[in-house]
A and B are shown apart, each in its own frame.
Chain A
Amino acid sequence: MVQSLDRLKETASQTAGPYVHIGLTPNFCDIPGVYPVDLGDTMVNDKTKGERIKVKMRVIDGADTPLKDALIEIWQADADGLHNSPSEMRGAADPNFTGWGRKPTDMTTGECVFDTIKPGRVPFKDGRKMAPHLTVWIVARGINIGLHTRMYFSDEEKANDEDPVLARVEHRVRVPTLIAQRDGDTYIFDIHLQGEKETVFFDI
């Protein structure tokens, strides 16, 4: 026998189910008056620094059908590459930018749109700069444990080429699944849950 490490086990995940909106975006699903606003609905205000962008996302299943009951959260750095988080030790992030957004996909079209800013570059563990990216987390009915991925930007080709995380993708043909395409001030990002175009998901 040896000493016990006294570690606990993480609580097991269960699907968010079809009614995730009741808990996380009640105003969106006609439960008004409990919370003044749905958390994560607004990320920016008039004073937020950085380039304003829209990000339009869909989550697509193995039969090429967009999910109409998914919920997506994004987490990102501000324009200078700093996070609005107590764990950010490099400096104070833009107080006019939350860095965190949450949107349900539309019950008819399956789309959701984040109004945000283009993030700055954040250092990797070894100090190299990662390309600008959003951290993305997806839950829905039928998804047993939330899926982590990243969204990079199509007009950051040089930064993407030297990004240490994208460099880890062994099958280079899959790299484009992590890159949103720019159309005016909007980036389009389709997340494919399975099939030939399956998005790269991370075990973080």
Chain B
Amino acid sequence: MELRADALQLAYPASAGQVKRPVLSGVDFQLDLGRFQALAGPNGAGKSTLMRALAGLHQPDSGRVLLDGEPLDSRSMAERARIIGYLPQEVQPHFHFSVRDCVLLGVRVHEQSPWFESAPSASALAAIDRALDLVDALDLRERQLHELSGGERRRVLLASVLAQEPRFLLLDEPAAMLDLSHQAALFTLLKRLAQEQGLGVLCVSHDWNLASTFADHLTILHDAGVHASGSPAELMTERVLTPLFGDSYTLLPRPGHPPVLLPQ
């Protein structure tokens, strides 16, 4: 099974008197099961938009999104939610949710909810605990989401998406606001989910070094198109990066890993 974007064309509606600005123009992309892929590129390159289109949340102007060879929108929204888990860059709950209720929302995509339930079922509670355990947040279970720190919140939100038990994980900036050890733990987890459980994992990441250290495959978007695609070692080169950043960066070699990208 794979999730594929086929010649995707997408533009946001322009404000009065302006031309529609294309966000994606003819983008081909493929996310395979069992792989940990990262999506990188400068601001406004269309990373989040591509991810939303892959999640089926943006209707493209032309081109298609295919899941297992069939158009994504041939499946119901509920069916898609059991296959694709998507975590947007920002989630703003307006009311106060407990951590448990937050993760329950992810479990719910699998459970036909009964007419009246006084408490979540035992299997739902077990699924909540499993998901929280994966992101090292089991101790936060009884807390309120709004009381948590930014990094703890991100981990709980990730747990709520993992609780959907999807085949494909689409994560927009999952490591933002995490401290260094949790960044490493998260990306290790994502790599493990891909390798051991065969998930197809796609991350939008601003952190080039994090992405190139852990991901199997890097896709770089630039100017609404795919600028380069390949293994991190192939792409962390001056030939690929100079068109993006000019002379504002430097690459430091690192034994056993792709070189480190630093601003200068």
Say whether A and B bind each other.
no
- Chain B residues within 8 Å of A, Cβ to Cβ: none
